[in-house]
Structure 1
Amino acid sequence: MIVKNHPNIQTNCLVFLLSLGMSISLFSQKLKTIPLWESEIPNAISNPNYVESPTYEGEIFTRTTQVVTPTLTVFSPKKGTKNGTAVVIFPGGGYQHLSMNKEGLKVGAWLSSLGVTAFVLKYRLPSDAIMTDKTIGPLQDAQEAMRYIRRHATDYKLDVNKIGVLGFSAGGHLAATLSTHYTDVVYESDAISAKPNFSILIYPVISMTDELTHNGSRLHLLGESPTSDMITYYSNEFQVNEATPPTFLVHATNDKSVPVENSVHYYLALKEHKIDTEMHLFEKGGHGFGLCKDDIHLHWKRNCKNWLKAHKLIE
């Protein structure tokens, strides 16, 4: 384990953000966005009054809520740089909205610069208005995203054994849920595996227990009065086993929204089951730093890149 307590040095990342934002703005017209489900969406209730509500800042798609139709937005590396590795990105937002730019599109652009084919998943948020069982809706989309990519691996020139997930906050909970519940039958599917080969969790919600959870995420996913069985099922620190994929964790110690103990407990569960894992803890940073908050973006991106190299996922 690598645990780092790093001072909150004030580093100006404006140039980084502007350059990355401009590249996304220019590149956005070329991005390919595809419907996730190639047939009927499972667990869906038709509700014409429930309409997706996206938010834009200029031409930048920043966030959305009330997702009805899940999609994958594809970031392909430049010609000659593709390395066969793919990552599905789960933006955070407390299972209430999706932070599509900061924790989605910008991350896809960064990963594609490493030769990784990135897929930003706009997943359905739990809602009784459009789902017969809202607790499994996000997991259904996450499983299908993995299956879709493996199903089309040849089209994207991907190695089916190098497909991972990256999630932020509640998106980290979804990534961890997929990493521990990939064999659970939550819809009728083909025999293609939904298992991630690796997972990257950034300030993730891991637990649904009273002591550790992010209350908003639990409320939106499980409702006001979840049973003890539901809490245990979606507390992923209890779901780790010897087949859970290798995991890279990042969290800030002073995170007041999602306690750092979420990552710590998941790390300890992985360690107990002898799963390859690396964790980076920062003294400061709070919650929601994404790719850039003071100087933290310089560290977790670099650390993550080194971890991907160590696992022979990039060169």
Structure 2
Amino acid sequence: MTTDRSILVLPGGGYGMLADHEGEPVAEWLRSLGWSARVVRYPVLTRHPGPLDAVRAEVAAERAAGARLVGVLGFSAGGHLAGHVALAPDSSPEQRPDLAILCYPVVSMLRSTHVGSRENLLGPDADQAAREAVSLERLVTPHAPPMFVWHTVADEAVLLGEHAYPLAAALASSGVPHELHVFADGVHGLGLAHGEQAEPWPDLCARWLARFA
């Protein structure tokens, strides 16, 4: 499908691998909504800023190809990367997406959960300053793009209270348009969440995306 609205899909995998169920099936769903969509196989087991630079280049490439709107959608560590691309302070205008969808995202590199993502991205000995520099809740400004975020209370791998909630609070404080949807049940890594309590999230997201038609 050719359209001037494009979304780049970033699977999760702790910055150590890429989860297939969070890739092409999600891109197919986005295409069914009338968006161009493709999976970005960003580099893993690669230190910062390697993944960030790779996806920023893909956003710029979409713009150069004629996309009027470019979004990013990521899961878990891919959610962190999607948020980082949206919030990185040193990005050029063509590298910044117009919207971001974060699914059970890793947000903070200062917290105790999902240490693997942090160590794969920053190394095992990253200091406080390095961890703060890639913690999304520290990067939000009033200029951040609109965001759609969802998570589950039952997620024990990436705790809601350590990740999605602090991000939503920062977005609210900065007046950034956003939605946060929280479902009670569901383990980490649900993808499209077929048959799960979180199964409504794609419909909720589709309605949100319709605002950008």
TM-score by structure 1 length? 0.65
* Number of the residue aligned with 1:255: 155
Q: 1:256 to 1:115 in 2, by over 3 A?
A: same
Shift of 1:251: 0.2
Shift of 1:182: 5.7
**2:26 paired with 1:88:** no
What residue identity is the alignment partner of 2:6? A
Question: CA-to-partner distance for each residue in 1:119-164, whole Å, 9 max, x for gaps?
Answer: 210011133xxxxxx21110010110101111111xxxx32xx211
Number of residues paired by the alignment? 212
Counterparts in 2 of 1:26-105, with a 5 A limit? 76=1, 82=3, 84-99=4-19, 101-105=20-24
Question: CA-to-partner distance for each residue in 1:230-287, whole Å, 9 max, x for gaps?
Answer: 1100111011001111000000001011111211110000000000010000000110
* Number of the residue aligned with 2:166: 265
In 2: Cα distance, 1:296 partner to 1:290 partner? 12
Counterparts in 2 of 1:144-163, with a 5 A limit? 144-153=57-66, 158-159=67-68, 162-163=69-70
Question: CA-to-partner distance for each residue in 1:197-220, whole Å, 9 max, x for gaps?
Answer: 000000000000134x41110111
Among 295, 304, 307, the alignment partner of 2:205 is 304
* Number of the residue aligned with 2:51: 138
What residue identity is the alignment partner of 2:86? S
Give identity over the alignment, percent.
34
Q: Secondary structure in 2 aligned to 1:125?
A: coil
Contact 2:100 2:145 in 1 (8 A): yes
* Number of the residue aligned with 1:179: 86
What residue identity is the alignment partner of 2:190? F
What residue identity is the alignment partner of 1:165? V
What residue identity is the alignment partner of 2:24? L
Shift of 1:192: 6.0
**2:114 paired with 1:114:** no
In 2: Cα distance, 1:229 partner to 1:298 partner? 38
CA RMSD for the aligned pairs? Answer: 1.5
Structure with the bigger percentage of helix: 2
Shift of 1:89: 0.7
Contact 1:182 1:194 in 2 (8 A): no
Among 128, 140, 151, the alignment partner of 1:240 is 140
What residue identity is the alignment partner of 1:142? V
Contact 1:203 1:263 in 2 (8 A): yes
In 2: Cα distance, 1:205 partner to 1:284 partner? 18
* Number of the residue aligned with 1:281: 182
| Structure 2: tracts of 5 or more residues without a match | none
What residue identity is the alignment partner of 1:231? R
| Structure 1: tracts of 5 or more residues without a match | 1-75, 128-133, 185-190
